Amino acid sequence: MILYNIIIGVSAGIISIILAIFIIRTYFLTKIKATIIFFVLFCLTGANTFTFAFLTFVSPYSESLALGMYVFIILTAFFSPIFICIFFDYIELGQLRTNTTYFFGILIGAFFSVLCFSNQIPDLLGLVYSIEFSSWMVNLDNYLRMLIMIFGVIVIYRLIKGFISIQRVTTNKNAKFQFKIINFGIIFGLVGLFFSSALGVILSTESLILGSFLRASYPLFIAVGLLIIFIGFKLNPYSIYLISQKVFEIIVFNIDGLTIFNQKFQLSTSKHATLITGAIFGVSSMIQHALGIESVPRSLKFKDRIILFEFKDTIGFALISDRNSRILRNGLRNFADLFMKTYKNDLKNWNGQLKPFKNASEFIKISFPFLSN
């Protein structure tokens, strides 16, 4: 039993930390904040399973150390679903609900702080050293089990709500499939955790060995769940922006406000691109006139739209989205560079024909990989 705990716990911990390293590398490449949420989630899981494995080395005379390690295991088990809820908040809203998140975290943290420094903990965590298994074992009080069950219901509700929201707002089939995989990974880990823990407790009354093996198997379910989440995430890390941020259209125009190329990414009520560029030039000219400046705008912001600009010589590039972000601005700059490099000669002798620029859609796949269907 000792060897089983060590192998399962350490293996799950190593998998979690390796995946966390890959996740943080993705953050440095993409600067997508949601990857940090995944990173913390994977680190918490690794800390949980490593602690579970090393608990087998605690001496039978070190009850305080064993108790502290079990409290840490429960803490990390609680905070992991919180970060799952935070992730879906970010996906659904495009930002974190700071007040709710802090309140949620402080409430759970305060509860366990009181629990740790009160004299009720021996009653809530029935800790015994099993000579048969040569390891410390814990039996949770019904009060703590009920709290975990209520917390689990909240997390499952948030998962279902987030999944429905993604399916409703996303038109990209690849992104929908990707988040189905991520959801499946989360559900697999949570259901596996519940199944192994609950069934292990039930069967312990009939067969202590079988029940203990089941209870000790939860890191295996969690590790497989994290691996599935990672696979789903790596299919396209940029898809988080596709869910949390709407991109409507990209337009290329010249100094006279004539449209050279445009492409829509989703259905919208916006008018023809020529009318849009005409309006852009009108507003831009009035602002320049009023301020007495000649510099071109970097963006025009409205209540539910923002137009990002990039200018190369006499050619302008506009991206219409619902929010500004570094990844969109970098993508627009990259698209502009590729467009100018490829069509430099065509632009010099342009006679109003749009046919020479029809292949510019290929640059969108390179510059905005998260927009591809």
What pLDDT does residue 82 have?
Answer: 78
| pTM reported for the whole predicted model | 0.66
User: How many Å apart are CA 123 and CA 214, to the nearest integer?
Assistant: 24
More confident of the two residues 295 and 162: 162
Closest CA to 310 of 262, 250, 370, 256: 250
* Residue 249 CB coordination number (10 Å): 18
Span 247-371 CATH architecture: 2-Layer Sandwich (3.30)
More confident of the two residues 133 and 43: 43
What pLDDT does residue 17 have?
Answer: 92
Query: Per the structure block, which two tokens stand in for 266?
Result: 């989703």
With a pLDDT cut of 90, the percent of the chain lying above it is 4
Q: What is the CATH superfamily name and number for domain 2-244?
A: Rhodopsin 7-helix transmembrane proteins (1.20.1070.10)
Q: String of b and e for 19-46 (b: at least 16 CB within 10 Å)?
A: bbebbbebbeebebebbebbbbbbbbbb
- Strand segments, DSSP code E, in 15-164 are 125-130, 135-140
pLDDT digits (tens, 9 = 90+) for 103-143: 666 666 666 665 555 555 556 677 777 776 667 777 777 76
3-state secondary structure of 32: coil
Q: pLDDT class for 14, splitting at 50, 70, 90?
A: very high
> Which segments of the chain belong to CATH 1.20.1070.10?
2-244
> Which segments of the chain belong to CATH 3.30.450.70?
247-371
More confident of the two residues 26 and 230: 230
Residue with tokens 């198997």: 217
With a pLDDT cut of 70, the percent of the chain lying above it is 72
pLDDT digits (tens, 9 = 90+) for 241-263: 666 667 888 888 887 777 888 88
What pLDDT does residue 133 have?
Answer: 62
